[in-house]
Structure 1
Amino acid sequence: MSMVSPYRVLDLSTERGLLCGQMLADLGTDVIKVEPPGGSPARSIGPFYKDAPHPDRSLYWWAYNRNKRAITLDLERDAGRALLRRLVERADCLIESHNPGYLPKHNLGFADLAKINPALIYVSITPFGQDGPKASYADSDLIIMAAGGPLILAGDADRPPVRLGVPQAYLHASADAAVAAFAAHHERVRSGLGQHIDVAAVQSVSMATQSNILASALGAVEPRRMSGGVKMGSIEIPLVWPASDGFIAMTFLFGSALGVFTAKLMHFICDQGFCDEATRDKNWIAYGEQLFSGAEPLSEFERVKEIVRNFTRSRTKAELLELAVERGFLITPVTTIEEVVESPQFASRDYFQNLAHPELGETFRYPGPFAKFSASPIEYRRRPPTVGEHNSEIYRGELGLPETEIARLTRAGII
């Protein structure tokens, strides 16, 4: 049993915050997903199992809702809000990702619910936070990644930036929110009181720029996008290099921290006959400074990069990875989906997990836990819940509502 299994989380999140509840559920908390009658709009996001649109067949829903129980409840109506307040009385945490002001308008904000349960940790995930000039702005992954900074590095140098292939802004925010919830719980152990956690996705993704957004403000050269790398002024620095059967990610950079790896690589490239000793023996520690100062012509850097490309093109991804392991080069393959699924490394760690879907008569392979614990391993206890799957279990078994009342609330569209 996990040390957090006694705790209960009410997950009121939209598609913005589903990962937060799943991380807490994976760690062992009892997460109850609260959806409107008919199911969360997130269930309508494809792709779908066997391409058949259905609330219980959304692969998007499956990806972010395992280990949760689920109930339906209409928070737009007084009777629905009354039931939620009863659930709040015995909850430890509540997650929501509605637009700022939505829940307070229905008397379900932190100040309202803290009166019912002063120990409640109330987690809000929004695009730009609960207040400020952008709090009510429309949002999308594209908008948040642009406002937070990472988008400036995505795409080709000669055209506007492009969105990332897989939306990531709310995944960053949800992971930050899960960590913040545990931090607030640590404080609650001391004080006995909950608190309101306000996570702005735009701030979460700004941290994903690895401080590059500070470059201009500090007078440094501001990084610019370049397909497969970055541009520092007029200097183009590749981060992706060709192999004979695909691509690799390789750090070919300079300075006291990384130049030593570049020097090691260039010695090997020379030994393999791809360059002369003069090229091999360049000052790879100071090489970046030489490029920025003009002491090393850009044309010479272009010649060096072509030497390195010729070397990487001469090997397969597997051969380059083997060299990296043997010799300490900063190289890793750019893997395909098939290579990830069939990865011997993942197999050795029992990463992928099989999870039965009895309602479909099938068992599916799921991506594995985000962390591996020796004493309390993450278990996939439940497949993602179907719409209202646990209504009777929670409303009758825990709140004590008689079957006749549950039937009446169902007919009325409250649950």
Structure 2
Amino acid sequence: MDATTPSIQALADIRVLDLSRILAGPYATMMLADLGAEVIKVEQPGVGDGTRAWGPPWVGPFSAYYLSVNRNKRSVTINLKSEQGRELIKALAARSDILVENFKAGTMERLGLDYDSLAAIHPGLIYCSISGYGQTGPYKDRPGYDFMIQAHGGIMSITGPVEGPPYKVGVAVVDVTAGLYAVSAILAALHHRERTGQGQYIDIALLDAQVGWLVNVAQNYFATGEKPKRYGNAHPNIVPYETFETADGYLALAVGADAQYQRLCQVIGRPDLWEDARFQTNAGRVTHRDILIPQLQEVFRSRPTQAWLDALWAATIPASPINDIPAVFADPQVQHRGMAQTIQHPQAGELTLLGPVPKLSRTPAAIRTPPPMLGEHTDAVLQELLGLGGDAIAHLREEGVI
């Protein structure tokens, strides 16, 4: 599927000054950009976002990592260590609706670019800080990275084999979800500003994000006081809800209702597993999982994966193959939903990027432009927004400000 540009987008009148790097912040600003916002990505001259160097793999001169979260943005290089550079940031912030940054707590205040300083210039500014542990509390000065937050926030303790070591999730899910929380908060702040004219400060912590999506696991702990266990691919509250080995591989089975379980027993030719009173309710199946699951596993080993999937789907029982990544993007449903899209890049040629997730009927998200080259839009932005002429821009470049 090719990227297309709709005529109207929900955030087309919003400008975002993006001082973030790596993943959580850039993911958030990319989502805003997909919805139409103008995102000005500020990078260090000559260096840029650290993910530009996070290869291989490479696509032309770009790391795949950088390409994953920087589409629909304009790149401007400004040296924040320079007083003139900081003045440029203030001037751009005064002309922006939103600022996103993910420096360590206290850094922006030392630079004179903290919320209070910029809100004095622009009271309507929505300012979002994303950090490992937040702007308050005993750990606020610690650096925070996705992996260590997964460890600190408890998700690794409940992920992995029952008898094995704790595992991290296979993608930087803390960064991604922190970015999602940031977007939700920013959109709420925009709505508040629409009603009141007031901007506000948003404090997003990776740790809060990870603890926040413990959801039912946390509630299980609150309810019982017992330390949650690892269940591998099984579920603490639903049975059968896990992977099963087949004659030629594995499948995932998600039986979330007693009626589904009854149909399952018919499909697999084991009506006795429904007639057994111990297994007729989910609570009973959870209590007696050690008796039930081995019997189901023995049955599933008797036929190939696809044969089971065909039978289960015919009975409207939730089940899935366990796809690798190539299989995901070859899947007709994924293709139909536009989750891989192509766009031309002046240096890298045709790029394939993940497509936007939300499908809005009137103001669809879209990939309009490829991830930018370092400083690609510096001159244009300084001219358009600050009215600087060619000589002034050349002088700033000579001084190492841009």
Q: What are the equivalent positions in structure 2 for 1:273-292 lying under 5 Å apart?
A: 275=270, 277-283=271-277, 284-286=279-281, 288-289=283-284, 292=287
Aligned length: 392
Counterparts of 1:290 and 1:25, CA distance in 2: 46
Q: C-alpha distance in 1, partners of 2:327/2:174?
A: 26
Name the CA shift for 1:373/1:35 in 2 (closer, same or farther; >3 Å).
same
The equivalent of 1:372 in structure 2 is 359
Equivalences for 1:5-404 in 2 at 5 Å? 5-15=12-22, 16-38=24-46, 39-49=48-58, 56-219=61-224, 221-229=226-234, 239-252=242-255, 258-270=257-269, 275=270, 277-283=271-277, 284-286=279-281, 288-289=283-284, 292=287, 301-302=289-290, 304-360=292-348, 362-404=349-391
Deviation at 1:180, TM superposition (A): 0.8
Which amino acid in the other structure matches residue 214 of structure 1? Q
One-letter amino acid of the structure 1 residue matched with residue 249 of structure 2: G
Q: Unaligned stretches of 5+ in structure 2?
A: 1-7
Higher relative contact order (CA 8 A, sep 6+): 2
Structure 1: runs of 5+ lacking an equivalent = none
Cα 1:263/1:304, change in 2 over 3 Å: same
Q: CA deviation at 1:238?
A: 6.2
Q: Matches of 2:110 and 2:66 in 1, distance apart?
A: 28
The AA in structure 1 aligned to 2:283 is G
Offset from partner CA, 1:7-57 (integer Å, 9 cap, x none):
10001112141100000000000011011112121212223326x7xxx51
Show the counterpart of 1:409: 396
**Overall identity of the aligned pairs, in %:** 31
Could you tell me the TM-score, scaled by structure 2's length? 0.90
Instruction: From the superposition, tell whether residues 307 and 159 of structure 1 become closer, same or farther in structure 2 (CA, over 3 Å).
Output: closer
| Cα distance change of structure 1 residues 405 and 237 upon mapping to structure 2, 3 Å threshold | same
Q: Distance in 2 between matches of 1:236 and 1:377?
A: 39
CA contact (8 A) 1:141 1:169 kept: yes
**CA-to-partner distance for each residue in 1:360-414, whole Å, 9 max, x for gaps?**
3x20221111111222222211000010000111112331212122122112211
- Residue type of the alignment partner of 2:242: L
**Residue 289 (structure 1) shift:** 4.3
Q: Deviations over 1:326-375 (max 9, x none)?
A: 31212122111111111111222333211111113x20221111111222
What SS does the aligned partner of 2:223 have?
coil
2:244 & 2:294 partners in 1: Cα distance?
10
Query: Which TM-score applies when normalising by structure 1?
Result: 0.88
Moved over 6 A (4+): 235-238
For residue 342 of structure 2, give the secondary structure of its aligned residue in structure 1.
Answer: strand
Q: Distance in 2 between matches of 1:67 and 1:221?
A: 47
CA distance, structure 1, for counterparts of residue 150 and residue 240 of structure 2: 22
How far did residue 147 of structure 1 move? 2.2
